[in-house]
Structure 1
């Protein structure tokens, strides 16, 4: 069940004026004072002028790599003076004309970038941000369908690169390797399907204690405003099937559900909001936030595109007890006012100092959420007086 903190009225007209006058991705004069957070937290603009900022990955020398989609490039940003924001001269561009380079991952000094049908690798990248090397093609035979073809990628505790292959449709039965999460060795060899029945995941992470894979999944469209929910799933082992296209979070598909029952598939660990477009997610592994947040999951919800009343456009939090997801609540909101959204969160990243970065592809920015209060004195789940 979604827990919702009290929300003040946001002037939709003022947001509309902002949105009409600020070019998408400009990063200028962002109204971050509209963002509501729990007591003790604050949000600042970490980096601006990053059109299409999407997936995030952290290098070994503090560089944050930022994928894009239609912009066809990857950004590298580094807070060299440690002032908590990216200044002029601290933004670098890697590649140009790339094919939906949403996914970025870092390992052993190299940046991995996922295009629609290829995985590229930029070696010794943090030493060559001014003049990036030509990429090495790691794999070039992934499916080329562009519907749900942009990818989130990450290295697992097993040292393998995990790469989802989304369903090339709203709902269909396309067969392998579609609607899956695959994995491979860093050189592209030993490619295999890890999980099936995954319509479109654009974010996953591994539990810090159990090393189990958790991932978000976007539910199908056109079953109404309130069905099906997006999902938070857990894959403790390879070979599980999560239902698509036959079943959506326990709801049989009206076309494909007759052939296989929902009882055959792995249920979600948590139902998220319907059509919220749950994308990037990370376990909170830092120590700067109050204890109640540690070990939980932050999720970037990009926001609905076809719901009568828009929903999402926020960062949510899933709390854990005894290793299981128990509560789902709003953590940061204010990018949506009425029917007007000036920003769309895409990914989250926990930094070494415990701050949380949030990317926004509509505003072309990355935000930094930090905690100023005393972790020992604030109960973030207590009712506000």
Structure 2
């Protein structure tokens, strides 16, 4: 995304990149246009304005962050309906949410906030604890995806405050901290803007999406899926985009000595959330596969993305990727933009959509 110099331009671009607050659209959404493999179906599970990152509480509450709304939502399944409550408001781009030991962690630009005992106090105002306020405060790529790893540490992605630049050491990385905010360290560098990561259920290793730079043309560079089995790996930015040297900075590093992506996506599809499928509802072929939400291009002459992709692994290696769900883009007009996903206890897959203002539920029944 380029730096926007005018207020009007910033508002227009922000609404498209982050999604717009949507009125209740439930039955108005043309879900019949979504193409899924045989046996799968999609429904609107809840109406949540500008829904972004998703997290699941111990008692089954689904939490959703947002960007333009500045809210954090708690959604309780009431059977045939969902109770949607705002549990925090007035925050700056709280896109990231994570749940641990009864507490909800929320990212808000430079701050990580913790809301204790959030599920035991329905309808009550919960004052947050500031876990840390030392992250960069720049808003360009400033929304931070967060999640707890198998090591019980909170991972926080930090994007770059530009389209392409040599950023300071505090940008272009995935960091991790203890739940109390101490022990900050950088886990991975050379990451332009990751808005989704997860850990392999068996190996416990980190995998993450990364958005490629803009203004190298419609067909360059590819967006990425990366694998970080250990700390201190460098994934290329700003010197290399996959195996493509950057026109300005590429001469400074040897791309062959940096870590390439394990899977390349089409340029500008904007891969955001990714989740390993660990449920038992879907057919066995999807077990431990990676679902990726492609938010969709914003500056490509012909739009691309606006769909869900599945990446299949064998022996911890990518062997196949294919489109899983599409139909949110029709003749250059998008009516929905997938953002994040969540595997539910029953095996269904929830998908947030910040543009339509809903959370979908994808389920499977053998045809």
Please name the residue that 1:132 is paired with: 125
1:132, distance to aligned residue in structure 2 (A): 3.0
CA shift for structure 1 position 323: 1.6
Q: Deviation per CA, 1:33-89: give whole Å up to 9, x if none.
A: 1111000000011001x11111100000000000000211101001033x4x52xxx
Q: Does 1:175 align with 2:168?
A: yes
Corresponding position of 2:297: 304
The residue that corresponds to 1:92 in the other structure is 85
Aligned counterparts of 1:372 and 1:40: Cα–Cα separation in 2? 5
Task: Measure, in 1, the Cα distance between the counterparts of 2:319 and 2:172.
Answer: 27
The separation in 2 between residues aligned to 1:161 and 1:94, in whole angstroms, is: 21
Aligned equivalent of 1:251: 244
Q: State how far apart, in whole Å, the 1-side matches of 2:215 and 2:125 are.
A: 43
CA–CA distance in 1 between the matches of 2:125 and 2:347? 29
> Cα offset for 1:215?
0.1
Partner of 1:72: 70
The question of whether the paired residues in 2 share the 8 Å contact of 1:122 and 1:132 is answered with no
CA distance in 2, matches of 1:129, 1:280: 28
Determine the structure 1 residue equivalent to 2:29.
30
Deviation at 1:261, TM superposition (A): 1.4
Structure-to-structure mapping, 1:258-269, within 5 angstroms:
258-269=251-262
Distance 1:290 1:104 in 2: 29
Output the CA distance in 2 between the equivalents of 1:121 and 1:155. 13
Shift of 1:280: 0.2
Alignment of 1:33-48 (within 5 A): 33-48=32-47
Matches of 2:21 and 2:278 in 1, distance apart?
32
Distance 1:312 1:117 in 2: 30
Alpha-carbon distance in 1 for matches of 2:343, 2:34 = 19
Per-residue deviation, residues 108-128 of structure 1 (Å, max 9, x unmatched) = 000000000000000000011
1:52 paired residue number = 50
Q: CA deviation at 1:168?
A: 0.7
8 Å CA contact 1:315–1:330 kept in 2: the answer is: yes
- Structure-2-length-normalised TM-score: 0.93
Aligned to 2:234, the other structure's residue is in SS state: coil
Secondary structure, aligned partner of 2:226: strand
Aligned to 2:99: 106
RMSD: 1.0
2:230 pairs with 1:206: no
Q: Could you give the per-residue CA deviations for residues 250-285 of structure 1, whole angstroms, max 9, x where no partner exists?
A: 000000001111012111010012100100000000
Q: Stretches of 4+ moved more than 3 A in 1?
A: none
Following superposition of structure 1 onto structure 2, how do residues 233-244 of structure 1 map, counting pairs within 5 Å? 233-244=226-237
Structure 2 unmatched runs, 5+: 1-19
Distance in 2 between the 1:368 and 1:26 partners? 19
Query: Within 2, Cα distance between the matches of 1:141 and 1:132?
Result: 25
How much does 1:24 deviate? 4.8
C-alpha distance in structure 2 between counterparts of 1:145 and 1:254, whole Å: 25
Cross-structure match for 2:331: 338
Per the alignment, residue 190 of structure 1 pairs with 183
- Per-residue deviation, 1:338: 1.0
Q: What is the CA–CA distance in structure 1 between the aligned matches of 2:288 and 2:134, rounded to whole Å?
A: 37
Displacement of 1:286 in angstroms is: 0.5
SS in 2 for 1:292: helix
- C-alpha distance after superposition, 1:117-160 (max 9, x if no partner): 00000000001131131000000111111110001100000000
The size of the alignment, in residue pairs, is 346
Distance, in Å, in 2 between the alignment partners of 1:175 and 1:53 is 30
> 1:125, 1:132 within 8 Å by CA — same for their partners in 2?
no
